[in-house]
Structures are given as structure tokens and as C-alpha cells.
Chains A and B, each alone.
Chain A
Amino acid sequence: ETGVTQSPTHLIKTRGQQVTLRCSSQSGHNTVSWYQQALGQGPQFIFQYYREEENGRGNFPPRFSGLQFPNYSSELNVNALELDDSALYLCASSFDRGAGTGELFFGEGSRLTVL
């Protein structure tokens, strides 16, 4: 069973640039969620994709956008980067939106630094 993989693991951008982060979901999972974890904080929900459609969204501006592909992998795009976007971005996969079980399988994250 292949777990959740994310790329890149680390990257550095400058303010105003755009970034794309990628996630491959665990085999058999059709739901991908993205979370932002600032230093010393808990993960904050950005959005969730289920069967290629956005299925829920947290309190993040529209410059955070995403995609889910037919193989259920996903991308997180952030435009017009700001210094406060520096964080660990976590991808989590599950089956059928977690189906109430709440068990999400997380990748190790992509650490973004915005200078």
C-alpha cells in the first residue's frame, strides 16, 4: 500500500510569486484535503477535493486554489505569495470524505518559505 506523497519537500519563493504543491493520495482513496500548518500551530483546513470537485473550504482567500485529477492526485496553487504564507503544507487523503470516521492519512508536507 502506497502512502501519501508530497512534492517538493522544501521550497523558497519570494513575495508575489506563485507556487504549486503536489500530492499523490494513498491507493484506494478518492478524497484529498489540504492543510496549512504555521510554526508552532495546529494544521488549518484549506479545502477538500472529492471526485475532482471542491467539497469544502476553510477560511482562506481565493488566491489559494486547487485541483484534483482523475487518478485522485491533487495540486495546491497559491498566487501572489505573502510572507505569512510561509508554513508547512500538509496533504491528507481519505476514502469518501472520511465518511465520518475522521481518519485522514497525511503526507510529510511541503515546507514553503516566502522571502
Chain B
Amino acid sequence: GNSVTQMEGPVTLSEEAFLTINCTYTATGYPSLFWYVQYPGEGLQLLLKATKADDKGSNKGFEATYRKETTSFHLEKGSVQVSDSAVYFCALGGSQGNLIFGKGTKLSVKP
């Protein structure tokens, strides 16, 4: 069945460092892909999405490109801030209008 695999955390970076969180997926067809973020004490919220191959989603300085050939949707940011500390979830759109999530990657950014 459809599934998402994302890199294990936790990830600890210094402020202004470059961030990559790897995400690969297994799916039939070409589902939409998403990154959700969970800040401390808050609910999950959509960070960015891509609905077809080669689409690039972007928001708040984060980017991810839908790569069909490598079945990947890696999250990147050129310069992280302390306020980016959160848990990041890669997800794909399921056939029932649901989302299939990865296990999450906790990011801590130190000043």
C-alpha cells in the first residue's frame, strides 16, 4: 500500500544552517504530496504542498520538489531560525481523502 518514509530525527542545527529533511514515498498513481509542521503546543498545519510531478511547493522559506523519478519530496530551507524548531511530517494524499503521514522529524535550532 501507499506509504511515506522520512528521515529519523532528531535533527539539531545552528541558526542560519541549511536544512534538508528527506522524504520518499511509495504509491500507486501520482498522489499529492505535503509537508505539515507541528510547532510546540500547537496543532498540525500545512506548510507546503505539490500536486503533480516537478511541482515545487514553497512557504516561509521552505521548499520541496515533487520528484517522480526518485519518488521523493525532500524539504529544504537555506537558513533556519530558532522559530523553525518543530516536528515536520511528510504526507501523501490517500484514496479516501485522507493523508498518509511519515513518522515525523523533530528539528531543534540552536541560537
Contact = CB atoms under 8 A, between A and B. Distances in A.
Contacts of B4: 42
B73 interface: no
A53 interface: no
Contact of B104 (A42, A92, A108): A42
| Majority DSSP secondary structure for residues of B touching A | loop
A102 B49 contact: yes
Contact of B103 (A42, A105, A106): A42
A97 B95 CA distance: 11
Interface of B: 4, 32, 34, 41-46, 49, 51, 89, 91, 93-94, 96-104
Interface residues of A, number: 31
Contact of A58 (B32, B49, B93, B98): B98
A44 B34 CA distance: 15
A106 B49 CA distance: 16
Interface of A: 3-4, 31, 33, 40-45, 48, 50, 55-58, 90, 92, 94, 97-98, 100-109
6 contacts: A98-B97, A102-B46, A102-B99, A103-B49, A106-B43, A109-B43
Contact of B42 (A40, A103, A108): A108
A102 B104 contact: no
Contact of B97 (A56, A106, A107): A56
A48 B96 contact: yes
A69 to B, nearest CB: 19
B94 A45 contact: yes
Given A58-B98, A100-B51, A104-B46, 9 more contacts: A40-B104, A43-B99, A45-B98, A56-B96, A56-B97, A58-B96, A102-B91, A106-B44, A106-B45
